[in-house]
Structure 1
Amino acid sequence: MTFPKYPEYKVSRVEWLGEVPAHWGVVPLRGAAKQEAYSFTDGDWVETPFITDEGVRLIQTGNIGVGKYREQGFRYISEETFSKLNCTEFFPGDVLICRLADPVGRACLAPDLGARMITSVDVCILKTKSEISSNFLVYFLSSDPYLSFMASVSRGGTRERVSRSFLGSVRILMPSVEEQSSIVAFLDHETARIDALVEEQQRLIELLKEKRQAVISHAVTKGLDPDVPMKDSGVEWLGEVPAHWEVGGLTKFIGPVVDYRGRTPKKVDDGIFLVTAKNIRDGRIDYEVSKEYADPESAKSLLERGKPEIGDLLFTMEAPLGQVALIDRTDIALAQRIVKFKGGEGVMMNSYLMYWLMSTSCQARMETLATGSTALGIKASKLGMIECPAPPVAEQEEIVSHIKRESAKHDVLLVEAQANIDLLQERRSALISAAVTGKIDVRGWQPPAGSSATSVTKQTEAV
């Protein structure tokens, strides 16, 4: 299915909008608000001491997603604080626009949470006029042209933002009420179909991860031979292991532990890559998830405790606890919350040890030894309390090879599923942008009879 264009266009005089349908209006965002008090205003400055466990619900910047409300915990203020601070209450269906990254200018409809609601100072509340559909406005404020423009004009030291006055001056498009309804109905239907496919791919990813975890956990606790004689490990949570395997505390099978906690190297814009706990994920160092750099002299002093060597095992002691990876390059520095060690020579392979630490049994054991209220952590002195099964080295090699082969199969499917999600999300964004900026005319659109989510790809290819 392809979508027609409008018969006539005009120059919008807004560079990032380009040409728009000839009969559409172009107005500042504040022009969409009702002409009454608090119809276009910022939320309230609510400091941490005012936060309570019940009362008036506080919606924060993290709750504002691109076109969607996101639940991220519950925070409240008391009725007394509400009155004392003269807070501005908003209601379900109002438009909430976040002036703070990421991304700047994202918006969603206020949800119905069954409670009175206020929001934080970096969220703008907009109550729309009767001739403006709140749903259409949220779709417009979720479009790529708008979000790209907002990213280009936002400013800030620690986090980018825009002022409410600037936000109010941003130009938006205003079709007729009837066209807004048509566009909203079209996008509600089509984005729901895309979202259903995305959820399907996300479920597949979770299933693949579970299967990969099961392969690892079984191999490092039961071995590869289903007929091998078994024995009681003597560890309640571990159960039976192959009879010829040794079982003992982790420190029995590893060399000295190098602890990088307690010192933070001086951070700079350009220096030695600093591997933090954030970078260590699922058995590898992810150099993209966080990019921090250490001053070379500061890093040199820190690494006197132990320089990184290829194949050494990194272990996160907290925030997050129990993530592992093998070092794959030496031109790095290691941050706090990380320790480094290696398996004992001729006793324990680093790669086998890594998989053991990743196993479901071992992860559960770490949680029983961990302490902390906001973030679980484990003391180095307790590493020896993490029991570890140790097959002969030759068998460790076989187990590692088996896990790598099976993981590779899962990884191919994981990459494919994530690529499908990325493509669907790109098409979703393209569809929204095309509809709300008038690049396609959906006035004559009707939901196809017997339509299903599986046809969404063909539906969106024409955008």
Structure 2
Amino acid sequence: MQRYSEYTAAPAAWLGDLPSHWDVKKIGSLFSERKTKVSDKDYPPLSVAKVGVVPQLATAVKTDAGDNRKLVCAGDFVINSRSDRKGSCGVSELDGSVSLINIVLTPRDQWNGRYVHYLMRSQPFSEEYYRNGRGIVSDLWTTRYSEMKSILLPIPPRDEQDQIVRFLDWKAATINKLINLKKKQICIYEEVKKGIIASLVIHGLNDSIPMKDSGSQWLGSIPDSWKCLRGKYLFREIDQRSLTGEEELLTVSHITGITPRREKNVTMFKSESLIGYKICKPGQIAANTMWMWQGAIAVSNYDGVISPSYNTYEQINNDYIPEYLDLLLRSKPLVDNYVVLSTGIRKSRLRLYPEQFLTILFPVPPLEDQQKIVASVSDRTAQIQDLVSVIQQEISELQEFKSRLVADVVTGKIDVRNIQILLM
């Protein structure tokens, strides 16, 4: 792809050199801040996420401030002011309301909203936006309108904005199609992997050995040498709280199990204090009560704390080795059973409490069988995991290419004026 024939040094370092015929203006001269307070009863709640401005996500943290929100009109640009929400912004296609942590900007001029969307969601702008903020530590960093309004933006002629949008829509659609195909491949491999794990942890290694009815619909038949016990005979709930708040904060996910929060790109609310959070130790079970129906439960390898709304369990008689227990608790048939036992008015509101969890019938293989099953799972899923890792790397490279392409085009590093757009 070719560059423009003539460039001029931009008056802002983050822009580098710009095409000589482009203009540069401050955000404050291009937008006005919308501060109108509204209720989510009158204006539907919206989420400002990395995917843009969308109807409120099921995973969004709900508050009691429904009558104290900011109005958003279609065409407004909305950005979350907090550093731990970096990249959470976009031009809204909807009328609605957002939490007060967001900044809502209304364009003063009739320029292409999609160009604004691409420009102000680009990685260079995101970095410049947060560079202009302030705070004590990185995850408490905030950029206010008074600080962002002096940021300079590149303004191509309107017909060029329109061509940039057509080009990026075309390229983004092509790249997204490839990414989605690769994500579907991963889903297929993951389902195969889940099937292998479920078969081994529930039915054992040898199909030819004598089997018996477990007495549980979700379990079906199990090897004759295995026991089957209800959760209340295997686990006890524990509720030990942090007195200092100095422990490691852990997350409980259906995807990654239990991991330190600092290792994840988490954008959800974080409490200022961890005092009163539940202690979780290696070998103990942590269950995300709100997402058990998706399999958010695991055996911990870490010392730390989890949310006070989660549940922690420990083994009563050490009937399981931790590796087997982790595989069992997250196996698909058992997760499906969590859904059946959960209570709630709709799927996103399902909850599984200790009273239900401890009634479940669990298979209890001899410890020697558990060790062999864990080893077999590792052997039989290793190749699948290798394939998934390769595809995930390909997806990461495609996403990085798209991000770099958008940044280069909206800041004039690539000239797309004469590129013919192919119809999809």
TM-score, normalising length: structure 2: 0.80
Q: What secondary structure sits across from 1:4 in the alignment?
A: coil
**1:25-424 matches, cutoff 5 A:** 25-33=23-31, 40-46=32-38, 50-52=39-41, 55-59=42-46, 62-65=47-50, 68-73=52-57, 90-91=73-74, 93-103=75-85, 107-112=89-94, 116-121=95-100, 122-130=102-110, 132-156=111-135, 159-252=140-233, 254=234, 257=236, 259=238, 261-268=239-246, 273-274=247-248, 276-278=250-252, 282=256, 285-286=259-260, 288-289=263-264, 308=281, 312-316=283-287, 318-321=289-292, 323-328=296-301, 332-335=303-306, 336=308, 337-342=310-315, 344=317, 348-370=320-342, 376-379=351-354, 384-424=358-398
Maintained 8 Å contact 2:53/2:90: yes
Distance 1:246 1:401, change over 3 A: same
Maintained 8 Å contact 2:286/2:298: yes
Distance 1:358 1:386, change over 3 A: same
Alpha-carbon displacement from aligned partner over 1:316-365 (angstroms, at most 9, x marks no partner): 26344464445546xx34445453534846x5433222222112232233
Separation of aligned partners in 1, 2:265 and 2:148: 30
Alpha-carbon displacement from aligned partner over 1:295-325 (angstroms, at most 9, x marks no partner): 9xx99xx98xxx956xx24332634446444
Distance 1:101 1:348, change over 3 A: closer
Question: What's the CA shift for 1:5?
Answer: 1.2
Distance 1:375 1:266, change over 3 A: farther
| RMSD across aligned positions (CA) | 3.8
Separation of aligned partners in 1, 2:132 and 2:69: 32
Q: Which range moves more in the overlay, 335-344 or 212-221?
A: 335-344
Separation of aligned partners in 2, 1:107 and 1:327: 35
1:36 counterpart residue number: none
Question: What's the CA shift for 1:8?
Answer: 1.3
Maintained 8 Å contact 2:251/2:260: no
Distance 1:8 1:208, change over 3 A: same
Distance 1:96 1:316, change over 3 A: closer
Distance 1:361 1:106, change over 3 A: closer
Separation of aligned partners in 1, 2:313 and 2:392: 32
User: Percent of pairs identical after alignment?
Assistant: 23
Question: What's the CA shift for 1:382?
Answer: 5.5
Question: What's the CA shift for 1:106?
Answer: 5.1
Question: What's the CA shift for 1:86?
Answer: 12
Distance 1:408 1:325, change over 3 A: farther
Where structure 2 has 5 or more consecutive residues not aligned to the other structure, the ranges are 61-65
Separation of aligned partners in 2, 1:275 and 1:163: 28
Counterpart code for 2:351: L
Where structure 1 has 5 or more consecutive residues not aligned to the other structure, the ranges are 34-39, 76-80, 452-463
Distance 1:28 1:290, change over 3 A: closer
TM-score, normalising length: structure 1: 0.74
Maintained 8 Å contact 2:48/2:80: no
Separation of aligned partners in 2, 1:32 and 1:327: 51
Alpha-carbon displacement from aligned partner over 1:259-303 (angstroms, at most 9, x marks no partner): 2x25223124xxxx525343796455456138999x9xx99xx98
Distance 1:164 1:215, change over 3 A: same
Question: What's the CA shift for 1:126?
Answer: 1.7
